[in-house]
Amino acid sequence: MTQKTLLTGQTLLFSGDPLVLPWEDCVHVDSSGGVLLLGDRIAAVGPAEGLREAHPEATEFMYGDNLICPGFVDAHVHFPQTAMIASWGKRLIDWLQTYTFPEEIRLSDPYWAAELAARYLDLTRAHGTTTVASFATIHPHSAAALFEAGAARGQCIVTGKTCMDRNAPEALLDTAQSAYDDSKTLIEAWHGHGRARYAITPRFSPTSTPDQLSALGALWAEYPDCLMQTHLSEQPDEVAWVRELFPQARDYLDTYEAHGLLGPRGLYGHAIHLEPREIDRLADVQGAAIHCPTSNAFIGSGRMNLPALAERGIPVGLATDTGGGSSFSMLRTMAAAYEAAQHHGRPLHAAQLIWLATAGSARTLHLQDEIGSLRRGYFADITVLDLKSTPDIAQRANRAHDIWEDIFTTVMMGDDRAVRATWIAGRQADEV
């Protein structure tokens, strides 16, 4: 008989997008809520007392004043950079040459790739992250390693072999043909199998020739239900480099569009220094802009104007961008997103921040019907937050006038100590 589990506490519920609608109308907290789990899915959400009476056989986990929310969804990371996180003193292009590329060469060893994939998922799970969209390396086994580690944990994983055929060390170069062939083999082996989803992955235009971009665009046309992830307009010197490499292109985004790599299932990381035409085209096709605020600050890239992009109807997600990002924590990333929006004079409410880290990111991954919300039929990926996890947070929370002030304190000051429990596919983290 399938196990029934009841989680009770304060439940966070979404009925719409708080970046489009007034947040008060579409994000709510039930102070005496419950979530009933049946196997790996959510079977019911509602008042705790009613669920308790209707399902007396369920094993109950009583979380009291803790906040039961959807598991965090990290929409842009580089799991191969786990061991080099928080490396000193470089901007993007130097960062790649000095830290990233040497680290990715290490993943030519399948055993190291497997060890690092498992380490990364264990670290992020401790921070309440239940789904990730990650770049791998050029080595096909690196993508397979992350899929395998996710499958062992019942976890939803989006990843893809990173493709580069120029402007990188010889040990990290593939070709247009091998990028196509290796990616296709991985798609057929993993995409849609269990909770695995494939993302066709050109690193960014400077490291792919037009021939490789075209090959990957053709592959996406063959498998249109795959995602496509890349980088876009992260730093001004990167944008200038793209102009030199693609003199015929109208702008950075056009280097993807001209090769069949612009579409509604596209994930465009950073998207800081956008031209008006690029914003128009992302809005037209509903390509997603993925906000990486800790990375943008750490590497000195700038600050995405997320509220302005959301107002144009562009899907936006939130991401740690490990290891350019300096934290595995989506709480820290929400805090950085608040700070970035403040720079543009547009403070984000706690309801908007936590939506970005859950339902918003799930939407950019086209997984909004499976994860990101506490709803019947969704996977039971759940994070429970202790809203008084440390003395400094507790002393501030004790002055809170409402639940949202309480939640905002944890968003701004919380870390892994605030994560009371993480559930993945209906199982507690220490069982996974």
For 348-398, write each residue's pLDDT tens digit: 999 999 999 999 999 999 999 999 999 999 999 999 999 999 999 999 999
Has residue 93 got a pLDDT over 90? no
Span 268-289, mean pLDDT?
Answer: 98
* Residues 251, 256, 257, 259, CA torsion sign: positive
Q: What percent of the chain has pLDDT over 90?
A: 94
pTM reported for the whole predicted model: 0.97
- In terms of pLDDT, which residue wins out, 108 or 400? 108
Structural domains for the chain: 4-70+372-431 (2.30.40.10), 72-364 (3.20.20.140)
Has residue 432 got a pLDDT over 50? no
Q: Residue 222, class by beta-carbon neighbours within 10 Å (0-12 exposed, 13-18 middle, 19+ buried)? A: exposed
HSE-up (13 A, CA, CB side) for residue 35: 34
Span 31-45, mean pLDDT?
Answer: 98
Amino acid at 299: I
Amino acid at 192: G
Rounded Cα gap, residues 53 and 319, in angstroms? 39
Has residue 1 got a pLDDT over 70? no
Closest CA to 58 of 48, 67, 73: 48
- Which pLDDT score, from 0 to 100, does residue 91 have? 81
Has residue 249 got a pLDDT over 50? yes
What torsion, rounded to 10 degrees, do the Cα atoms 289, 257, 295, 313 define?
A: -10
Rounded Cα gap, residues 417 and 311, in angstroms? 34
State pLDDT tens for residues 297-321: 998 999 999 999 999 999 999 999 9
Angle, CA 369 vertex, CA 363 and CA 370 arms, to 5° = 100
- Which pLDDT score, from 0 to 100, does residue 19 have? 96
Span 209-234, mean pLDDT?
Answer: 98
